[in-house]
Chains A and B, each alone.
Chain A
Amino acid sequence: MFHKRCTPGEHAVGRRAFLGASTAFAATAFADMTGLNVLGSSALAADLKKTQKRVILLWLAGGCSQLETWDPKPGASTGGPFRAIPTDVTGVHISELMPQMAQRMKHVCVMRGLDTKNGDHGSAAKLMMRGRRDEAGLKYPDLGAVVAREMGRADSKVPDYVTFYTQTEGRSFAPGDSGFLGARYAPMELTTNNIPEYIRKLDGISDLDHKQRGELRDLLGKQFTKGRQSETMGSHNEAYERVRGIMASESLFDISKEPQKVRDRYGPTQFGQQALIARRLVEAGVPFVRVARAWWDSHGQNFETHQEMVPELDHVMAALIDDLKDRGLLNDVMIVTLSEFGRTPGINSSLGRDHFASAWSSTITGCGIKGGSVYGKTDDKGNKVVAEQVDGGSLFATIYAALGINPEKNYYVGSRPIPLVNPGVQAVEEVLL
């Protein structure tokens, strides 16, 4: 059962428009695989423009420890040295490494009962980016591609899906991937710089030259399409428009445009700077931005690694929440923290923790999600989920539902209907607004 989950009372017209458009879409889905024509409905487009949902995924690559973040077990033999601290949500404690987030848990839903059954970096990263395993001959789109498709606008001048992954470790395990949705929803990937390369006009071409070339192309295009009905030509024109928009969007990646106070808020680290760019992008209408922070794979010296990295996560995530809140965006922008898996409760002889997918945590903050909620319970040592277990599919269904996307909605590959999540997979109703 699909429940649209946004702030109560918000965009009632949008719901009707959405449902109407969705019905129309369902009837014509076979003819219109992209569904973007639906967004061409002026009422719906205008409504989405105001209320478009967007996602920032903080991808904690390598496997962040749940015990040193969202599900501490202080005093247990598996608990490690860190204490748990109370938060602004009565009864909810998180690691002492996250004092800033402890004051902001009223905005956050912690999913503590993830059991995803895959402790291999490569395949687990794909699983947690797509919410399910690929089938033979069918590659599923990842979360970013689905959100780009569902929330992207045909008239958008900004990219639909941007991903930052600057460190090299693990980057190839889960590149942004639009699967069967095709290149239209593939991400703009930034791996070396925070500002995209190759989108600038060539130095040898003047502004006038560039403009005139575009006009000539438009003129020739119009003459060509005169008297012709061509979807290909329409798509061609749209692609050129998007390229022009993306070329003009370079400044969105430039944090020097932000006041120093805002830059200070995010901090000087690369992760902080990329999170700030992510905020600039979603504010400008980019539906999905992934900021990957590698590499958490702490087989040796787990506690020192987390002592180094968790405070940075704490600071950046808190800054992001505050900034989005101050800008009135937290109801429309979702922040997700996710890894390919968590880490073993058992502490190895190098004071490390190894790969562990049986009982770990993720968080969802903002849009459509019940802040201050905790779903899932692990046992005293963190070895297994004892209540409210969630797998990758349910997590994705929950994210989709919170964004107002029907998880049961079908895409079509040829004539085969492909639902957004596998049949029978349910969203976690308890954490949805």
Chain B
Amino acid sequence: MNAPNPESLKLVKDYSRPAIAFAVARVPGTDRVFLGSSDFKVSEADLSAAKFEPKGLYGHASYVTTLALSGSTLVSGGYDGKLVWWDTTMNKEIRTEAAHAKWIRQVVASPDGSRFASVADDMVCKVWDATTGKLVRELRGHGEKTPQNFPSMLYAVAYSADGKYLATADKTAKVIVWDAKAGEQLKKVEAPTMYTWDQVQRLHSIGGARSLAFSPDGQHLAVGGTGKIGNIDHLEAKARVEVFDWQAEKQVAEFVADKSQGLVNKLLYAPDGSWLLGVGGASEGFVAFFDVKSKKVLKQEKVGMHVHDLSIGPKFDSLLLAGHNKLTAYKLG
């Protein structure tokens, strides 16, 4: 599939709502979307309806921070440590798993739809059978504490396009690549600029590696976060992406989005691998495209909300962003 030109990005519509949307999943080719939000609910909405009115489907006991849709199965994860399987055809719960001991940060579906992988602040990546919900394996390798002896956090997980590899990323910006089938740790890369520990002024930390994406050919791994922060009261550094030849454990590119401040919360490669899309923010948000070949920032667009998640259409012609009290729809191509 050819990649659309990032310059074609065009705002279609804003959808306001009185909650922070941390996660969005769109049924491919439709206007049906699922949202995970700060109201502790997973909601469903129809973007084509005259009035945008998300309807609550079910609840978690805390923020719903991640959604993964595979076929008709939606899996939601929250800061309550639970994963909920939901049948989107019948609109009913399939199962709930007390999956993690701490906050669940992300759940993703394997490319073939047979597995879900979740990461949480218990620093474990768990792989689940998508159909039975059975725990297939646990991937342990991230430290529970930061070097300064404070609790670490495991923010991101991504599958390679062929499903052979899994990558996980933590607060100290350590990234581990795993053999998805065998559960073995294969390689490790680090992006230490993304983690700021302030020993002198404030004695706490901010940042971390927040997002991951394998290139379509699986050779490269992109890691998103932010730069070193001077005043860690705020997310005041520029958005940052580092790309690694993960087999060689070597950084091959680094992007600093000079007009985009804050965290890169989600990353996505173009279908042909020509560009990378990063979304995120600080007090306001951004969409940024990075040219893989020239290693330059292609396009940056401000978004009127801190962006937490994205959903891209199957033809890469539509982009839906979810964030602080809002959804925003764009066209591409």
Contacts and interface: CB of A to CB of B under 8 A. Distances in A.
Interface of A: 62, 75, 77, 81-83, 166-169, 267-271, 293-295, 297-301, 304-305, 307-309, 311-312, 347-352
B146 to A, nearest CB: 8
A308 B283 contact: no
B179 interface: no
A295 B203 contact: yes
B151 interface: yes
Given A77-B39, A305-B206, 14 more contacts: A82-B79, A83-B62, A168-B201, A295-B201, A295-B202, A295-B233, A300-B236, A301-B206, A307-B153, A308-B151, A348-B283, A349-B306, A349-B323, A349-B324
A77 B18 contact: yes
Given A77-B19, A299-B234, A350-B306, A268 B202 contact: no
9 contacts: A77-B18, A77-B38, A167-B202, A270-B203, A293-B203, A300-B233, A308-B204, A349-B284, A350-B281
Nearest to A166: B203
Contacts of A304: 153, 206
Nearest to B200: A168
A347 B121 CA distance: 22
Nearest to A301: B206
A301 B38 contact: no
Interface in B226-279: 232-236, 262
Given A295-B233, A349-B284, A311 B151 contact: yes
Interface string B149-193: 111010000000000000000000000000000000000000000
Contacts of A351: 20, 306
Nearest to B103: A81
Nearest to B235: A300
Contacts of B149: 267-269
A349 B103 contact: no
Nearest to B102: A307
Contacts of B38: 77, 81, 347
B202 A169 contact: yes
A294 B62 contact: no
A311 B203 CA distance: 14
A167 B200 contact: yes
A268 B38 CA distance: 35
A75 B306 contact: no
B305 interface: yes
Q: Is the interface of B mostly helix, strand, loop or mixed?
A: loop
Nearest to A269: B149
A347 B20 contact: yes
B284 to A, nearest CB: 7
B42 to A, nearest CB: 15
B96 interface: no
B63 interface: yes
User: For this complex, into which size category does the number of interface residues on chain B fall?
Assistant: 35 or more
B88 interface: no
B283 A350 contact: yes
Contacts of A294: 201-203
User: Which of B232, B262, B324 has the most chain A CB atoms inside 10 A of its CB?
Assistant: B232
Nearest to B121: A307
Nearest to B305: A349
B282 interface: yes
Interface string B187-219: 000000000000011111110000000000000
Contacts of A270: 203
B40 interface: yes
Contacts of B281: 349-350
A75 B40 contact: yes
B262 A167 contact: no
B204 A295 contact: yes
A272 B121 CA distance: 23
Contacts of A298: 233
Nearest to B324: A349
B61 interface: yes
A270 B197 CA distance: 14
A383 B125 CA distance: 38
A349 B233 CA distance: 14
A286 B305 CA distance: 51
Contact of A300 (B150, B205, B206): B206
B14 to A, nearest CB: 14
Given A77-B39, A169-B201, A269-B149, A350 B234 contact: yes
B62 A81 contact: yes
Contacts of A293: 203
Nearest to B205: A308
B222 to A, nearest CB: 22
B246 to A, nearest CB: 26
A161 B233 CA distance: 30
User: Which of B40, B203, B232 has the most chain A CB atoms inside 10 A of its CB?
Assistant: B203
A295 B80 CA distance: 27
A293 B203 CA distance: 8
Given A75-B40, A77-B19, A307-B151, A301 B284 contact: no
Contacts of A167: 200-203
A312 B151 CA distance: 10
Contacts of B285: 349
A161 B92 CA distance: 63
B282 A350 contact: yes
Contacts of B306: 349-351
Nearest to B325: A349
A352 B149 CA distance: 23
Contacts of A267: 149
Nearest first, the 7 A-B pairs at minimum CB distance are: A295-B202, A349-B324, A81-B63, A81-B79, A169-B201, A300-B235, A349-B306
Contacts of B103: 81
Contact of B235 (A81, A168, A301): A301
A308 B201 contact: no
Given A295-B202, A295-B204, A308 B234 contact: no
A365 B62 CA distance: 31
Contacts of A268: 149
User: Which of A295, A298, A350, A352 has the most chain B CB atoms inside 10 A of its CB?
Assistant: A350
A293 B283 CA distance: 26
Contacts of A308: 150-151, 204-205
A312 B103 CA distance: 18
Contacts of A312: 150
Contacts of A348: 283
A407 to B, nearest CB: 34
A298 B206 CA distance: 10
User: Which of A81, A83, A311 has the most chain B CB atoms inside 10 A of its CB?
Assistant: A81
Given A81-B63, A300-B235, A305 B204 contact: yes
